[in-house]
Chain A
Amino acid sequence: MWVQIVVILVVLWVLWFVARQPPSTISALKKVGIVALMIAMIVSVLIPQVTTAAANAIGIGRGADLLLYGLTVAFVVYALTQYTRAQANRRVMYQLGRRLALLDAAERYRGRLCHTSTTSPEAGSSEETHRSIAPISTSDEREGDHPCISTSDEREGDHP
């Protein structure tokens, strides 16, 4: 019985740990996991006794059940990371949409707007107007002025 409890705790911890990782880390792990899964499937098909033995060693009845649990965990992890990544993409897209909207509005009301920190209300030049729009930041916390749109989630190494 305690083996099941330990397994459940470890699974929960893995889910929590995995959900916090940026995609660049997860995709490498995913590859490792998939490879491991493939090896396990081949082994279980050619030498069924191995998985049964492995399963029995940790208190699970059948080798197939062991594979099933592993697959379930892998699938849930995958689904959650995909969802998180989709949300990050959505956020970047919304930032772009907002910048377009604000640029368009600044153009329409040129001369009536000002930068929050400067006091000149007659800032009509395009440079002043551009600076009056808040810079895009894709992280939730403001990190200062970023003129370029970049995501903090995806790094250069994450190319499939």
Chain B
Amino acid sequence: MEDRDGAFPSSLEHGYPRRLLNLLFILNTSVEPPTTDEIIGDSDLGYGSGSRDSDLKKFKRDRDKLAQQGFHIVEITGAGGRQNEQSTWTVDRMRTHAELGLISASDAEILAHAVDAATEGGTSPLMPALSSIRARLRGRMDVAPQQDAARSIDPRLEAIWNAWCLRRALPFDYTDSKGESRPHSVEIYGLFSQAGHGYFVGRDVEDNAIKTFRCDRVRAARKPTGAYDIPQGFSIRDYRFLPFDFSGAGLVNVSFSFPRTLGAAEIEDITHGRGTIVDGPHDVFTWNISVRSIDAAARFALAHASAGMRPASPSALVDAWNDILKGVVETYG
């Protein structure tokens, strides 16, 4: 059978991607699932080297490569388990394909709105994943295309996301808040958004210290290298910083109170989910957290004074609160 140009398409064109795509094509279009020998004996498909072992290994690598892309190819052993019966192969459709019938039109709309809200502004470090998810909804389930159809992803976010997915350290140049630039190589442990910016947290390989970096301050990300594991017990929530985190001083345990009438969403926005919140006395919640600067902690509470936030302990925190207030009374009173 000839193609439009009169020449049969060669599997050598486009390299191994065409071989994998054609393997998938064959599995999707065959009347009967092909056997192992049919697959590895097919030179047009890209196997058939003459060495069965070599072709079997290539077939295994190709299945693994397709699995990385979400296509799971499984072996069907001989019906009835007859001896010497060749295995056949098929796409595991349940593991591979989404079951869109489980989602109602209303669910799809909620999902689309959620993804659109999270990607508004284009700064979330989850953009690459969320854009891919949104694209899968496009044109399906009557979900309208994303409003900004050409919402391009910052290549730095792509680089950070890919490095995290691969669990490979990301080398990059970085300009800090003071304007100083230097190279880093970071094993990324987690990602978060805060106040309209994206951040990643990980081990700086050279300094062997856990650090937080702002995504838009990354310059010139390079190819990730060096595999790593994320330490057990790592919690990204602990790195959603607050103004009292920036000091070289040691940690001090402090407590604040919030009135019980304050909404949970507002408390979450203030506390960033850090520390612990427990029932306190006299119709308040008590927020326990460790801080590096008592003065910054007092100022943080003052910034939320009209919401009812108050310093509770230790006395140094209450004193810092009062000192600032006395200064204002003295200046403006």
Binding between chains A and B: no
Residues of B in contact with A (beta carbons under 8 Å apart):
none
